[in-house]
Amino acid sequence: MAEPLTAVTDTHPLLYHVGARPARLGRRARAHFGACERREALLYVPAAVIWECSLLARRGRVDLGRPVRRFFETLFSNPAYQPLELTPEQVYLAAEAQPNDDPFDALICAAARSLDLALITRDEDIRASALVTVAW
């Protein structure tokens, strides 16, 4: 059996996927999420993504359909989705190189960099920064 595909997700692709808006995902992103649903790939969800989702839900900008904890417990019940804890190394990487002024973007890029994995995102600032390989 081939080794599973592995990537890290930014906040918006995860929300597009779980919000049943796959048309908003790029071809590679859609394929990766599909492979995760079939348990043929892995996707790391950085702690910064979890926190950003909670803030967006609190502000009413997204509707997770349940409390944040239950939302992510459900997501992580599929072993293809793995939480990625925030580490001091990620904080150092985020402080050393930032794609823009958004602290979430810095931490999410740092998470992908710490694992040397592609980041699923359509964020043009992140793509232009060349800090990480972007899959979209």
65-102 pLDDT per residue, tens:
999 999 999 999 999 999 999 999 999 999 999 999 99
Task: Give the model's pLDDT for residue 75.
Answer: 98
Residue 21, burial from CB neighbour count under 10 angstroms (0-12, 13-18, 19+): exposed
As a whole number of angstroms, the distance between CA 2 and CA 15 comes to 28
Report how many domains make up the chain.
Answer: 1
Name the residue with tokens 């597009």: 16
Structural domain that includes position 63: 5-135
- Give the predicted TM-score (pTM) of the model: 0.94
CATH of the domain at 79: 3.40.50.1010
